[in-house]
Structures are given as structure tokens and as C-alpha cells.
Copies of this chain bind each other. A is one copy, B any other.
């Protein structure tokens, strides 16, 4: 059984100042702020912005510590685009498909994301330099 791709779930943007960046997107583009959370284990604070399309959002990511993954990203690359997340209906099958194509995975198994999702990251080497996340929403399980 193969997984079905359901579109772009969100784009992740690495920023230094979460509030300043969110304010900019809200004021200049008319986005609205949604779910916000601190993930101590990942060393990151994140806020999701509503883009006017409920299925595709912007995730702003700011590091809690310089030695976190996002902190190191900012150090080496500066602020900007961090990853693209695609929504799938069956993340286990989708990971299997990546493996079958020889894509190197960051997460060999799905893990818990925010808002009840299951997520997994594939290495940028697998997708011409782009860090790719897969997301399965709770309502997508079948």
C-alpha cells in the first residue's frame, strides 16, 4: 500500500526573534498567529502562522539555545528557509517509499510532532539540498 501525498503542510523558517518575525508576517501579509509551543527536547520555540489556507501554514522556529539544531543552522546559514513539510496519509508507507529510493533519513521511524501529528525528517542530501519533513495528521489515519 503506497502513501498518498496531500500537499505542502507547512514551510519552516528559522529566525532569531520569534515575536519580531511573527509580527512582520502578521502586519505585512495579514497572517494570523496560531499554535505556539516550546519543545525543550529540540531546543526550539515554534509558532504556526495561518496563511489563509487551512492546509498550508508557516512555522517560525527560534532556538532556545545556540547549540540546538536550529541554533547551529542560524550560526552556519543565517535566518531563512529551514525545511518544507509535506502532508501524507500514511507516514510509515511514505518513509518506506523514501527508503526504497535510497533517500537518507534523519528519522528512521515516525515520531510524535506537535498537535497530535506524526512526523519524520529526511536528510537534505536526498532532495537536492532541501530538508524535507513528512507529516501525518491524526485525521489522516486509515
- A105-130 CB mask vs B (1 if < 8 Å, else 0) is 00000000000000000001011111
Asked if B7 and A53 sit within 8 Å, CB to CB, the answer is yes
Assess the A101–B27 pair: CB atoms within 8 A: yes
Q: How large is the interface on A (under 10, 10 to 19, 20 to 34, 35 or more residues)?
A: 35 or more
A127 to B97 alpha-carbon distance, docked (Å): 35
Do A30 and B97 have beta carbons less than 8 Å apart?
yes
> CB-CB contacts of A23-60 with B at 8 A, as 1s and 0s?
01101111100000000000000000001110110100
- Residue in B closest to A54 when the chains form the complex, CB atoms: B7
Q: How far is the CB of A130 from chain B (nearest CB, A)?
A: 5
- Taking a contact as CB atoms under 8 Å apart, the answer to whether A5 and B24 are in contact is no
Do B28 and A98 touch across chains, with their CB atoms under 8 A apart?
yes
What distance in Å separates the Cβ of A105 from its nearest Cβ neighbour in chain B? 11
